[in-house]
Amino acid sequence: AADVVCFGEVLVRLAAPDNELLLQSPTLKVSFGGAEANVAVSLARFGHGARMLSVLPDNGLGHAAVDELRRYGVDTSGVRFAAGRMGLYFLTPGAAQRSSQVLYDRADSAFSRAASGVDWDTELTGAGWLHVSGITAAIGPDTAKAAVDAVKTARRLGLTVSMDCNYRATLWQAWNGDAPAILGEMLSQADLVFGDHRDIALVLGASFEGRGEADGLRRWAADMAFKAWPNLQRLACTDRVQHTVNHHDLTGFLFSRDGAWRTESRPLNPIIDRIGGGDAFAAGVIHGLLTGMDEADQLEFAVAAAVLKHATPGDFNLATVADVEAVRSSHSLDVRR
Ligand code: KDG
């Protein structure tokens, strides 16, 4: 059985090459992405059984996506083919002072049409872990229902449930979806959540204006989250801070019901591609938990994985455990408790 089942939409990613703007470019780099697929690829590269549960169009693009996932060791037996189109996302990569821009073209995708047809009991029986993200819920009412059904079934069957909040305002706004209610329903089923104080405040309808600096906000949000969601055991996030144009760093944070950990800040520059950094981090924490690392090790490993992802083009973190450990040991990473 797969260690981890990842449920979500696989997208074609069309990125402007080098530092060009999207419409300046006569060519686009074609690859694949999607937050949950990124986690699946990273976990497979770390040596875990990772099964992608998704719906793709029964055409050349859908089959190419499956081939690409297989290439990195993801189990694609849970991918179904159905009518509808392939979801796309266009990317203008960030450069110097310019931040990256994502443009979605995914309405009416095969995934959005058919994801609600998944038989969750069948798909999840025998698996140990389900990973989802808030993106699936943000796509539309049918996928939102599928995402909620998925986490509820997983909890009933005794799987560990992890969820990345991945709040995507443009997707929620397109159908006026009730993000706090739907994300809250999903979060109430999760053991492990990836999200920061903004995500928690949004879902719980709390305001953090005037509540002081970020460290205090993270503690405040974690306390609220543990109170609101009794199944929650761990809350993790990263913070990427830009000091100057060429100086960004990344810090990891992990909260449990009775502890808090943070890494030293790790330099990121030069940033080659920041998309998928959060997914690499999520896969790193999951890897740490699956292999019995303590919290400090989980967090250090996950931040090192995210740092490596920033050095790699494309959505996928293709680093192996040895690659991540090499980055980890190249810096002295003190985790403060
Ligand atoms: O985390 C990376 C994702 O943002 C990217 O793959 C695109 O899945 C995507 C989305 O819906 O934003």
Domain that holds residue 94: 1-35+52-117
CATH number for the domain spanning 82: value is 3.40.1190.30
Residue nearest to atom 9 of ligand 1 (CA): 34
Q: Is the ipTM of this complex over 0.90?
A: yes
Inside any domain, residue 109: yes
DSSP class of residue 95? B
Inside any domain, residue 94: yes
Inside any domain, residue 280: no
Inside any domain, residue 127: no
For 72, phi then psi, to 5°, come to -100, 10
Inside any domain, residue 177: no
C-alpha–C-alpha distance, residues 17 and 321, integer Å: 29
Q: What is the pLDDT of residue 337?
A: 52
Mutual orientation of helices 197-204 and 179-187 as an angle, nearest 10°? 110
Mean pLDDT by 10 residues, the chain (337 residues): 89 94 91 98 98 98 98 97 97 88 96 93 96 98 97 98 97 97 98 96 90 86 97 96 89 97 93 95 98 97 97 97 94 57
Q: Is 223 a catalytic residue?
A: no
Which neighbouring-strand residues pair with 252? 238
Q: Strand runs (DSSP E) across the chain, as ranges? A: 4-7, 11-15, 29-33, 50-57, 75-82, 88-92, 101-105, 129-133, 160-164, 192-194, 234-244, 247-256, 260-262, 266-267
Q: Nearest Cα to 278, choosing from 170, 186, 166, 199?
A: 166
In the reported structure, the alpha carbon of residue 20 is separated from the centroid of ligand 1 by a whole-number distance in angstroms of 20
Number of domains in the chain: 1
Q: Nearest Cα to 190, choosing from 215, 161, 167?
A: 161
List 199, 273, 279, 315, catalytic entry? 279
In ligand 1, the atom with minimum distance to the C-alpha of 168 is: 12
Q: Which residues line ligand 1 (CB under 6 A)?
A: 11, 33-35, 38, 89, 135, 168, 275-276, 278-279, 315
Inside any domain, residue 149: no
Q: What is the pLDDT of residue 332?
A: 52
Residue nearest to atom 3 of ligand 1 (CA): 35
Inside any domain, residue 272: no
In the reported structure, the alpha carbon of residue 83 is separated from the centroid of ligand 1 by a whole-number distance in angstroms of 22
Inside any domain, residue 249: no
Residue nearest to atom 1 of ligand 1 (CA): 35
